[in-house]
Chain A
Amino acid sequence: RKEVEQDPGPFNVPEGATVAFNCTYSNSASQSFFWYRQDCRKEPKLLMSVYSSGNEDGRFTAQLNRASQYISLLIRDSKLSDSATYLCVVNLGGGADGLTFGKGTHLIIQP
């Protein structure tokens, strides 16, 4: 049973390109959604929350489609420093103990 599914990649993308990846979740009762970023051998850090109306933070745009139960992350004008693993995280609403993590999508930005 895969509650949160992501394409593990790696996605090899040239610097300056736009890249997008999706994540699907199985529990329709999920209430909140996040993208975390994890650098190699480091801890996960919150990149952005994902709202029903969609939200943007600089070069990053997150979208939520509740009907289809997927979340997307779009990165524009990608930088070398964007290379990392991006974790899709879904919360059933019970607080941080309800966080369910995907395996992550590995992104490599190439010069």
Chain B
Amino acid sequence: ETGVTQTPRHLVMGMTNKKSLKCEQHLGHNAMYWYKQSAKKPLELMFVYNFKEQTENNSVPSRFSPECPNSSHLFLHLHTLQPEDSALYLCASSTETGQTTEAFFGQGTRLTVV
């Protein structure tokens, strides 16, 4: 019933693999976000896109590469990850940045790097 859909829900990948996470929002929002949630840590903002333009990259390693082809879709391309990258990756959307607003989250992709 969520307006933000993420696929896959679970992913196990080796350190030499390349995979992509997909996010789609059906809420008519213009801003989309990637967050990382590791055990015992607060949610960490990774990337922000506003009207398809990347407005923030929170010092994320280059092995994570985002792509936003339009305001409804967001991808996170993964390559040569490390075991410490194992976490829950959450996509979120909001009306747009620059406004005090809540974020709506997808159900997340639980990633395990082996």
Residues of A within 8 A of B (CB): 4, 31-32, 34, 41-46, 49, 87, 91, 93-97, 99-104
Contact = CB atoms under 8 A, between A and B. Distances in A.
B55 A44 contact: no
Contact of A95 (B40, B99, B107): B99
Interface residues of B, number: 29
Main secondary structure of the interface of B (DSSP, over half): loop
B45 A103 contact: no
Contacts, number: 61
16 contacts: A4-B42, A42-B108, A43-B2, A44-B90, A46-B102, A46-B104, A87-B42, A94-B97, A94-B98, A95-B50, A95-B97, A96-B101, A97-B33, A97-B55, A101-B42, A101-B43
Contact of B102 (A31, A49, A97, A103): A49
Contacts of B41: 103
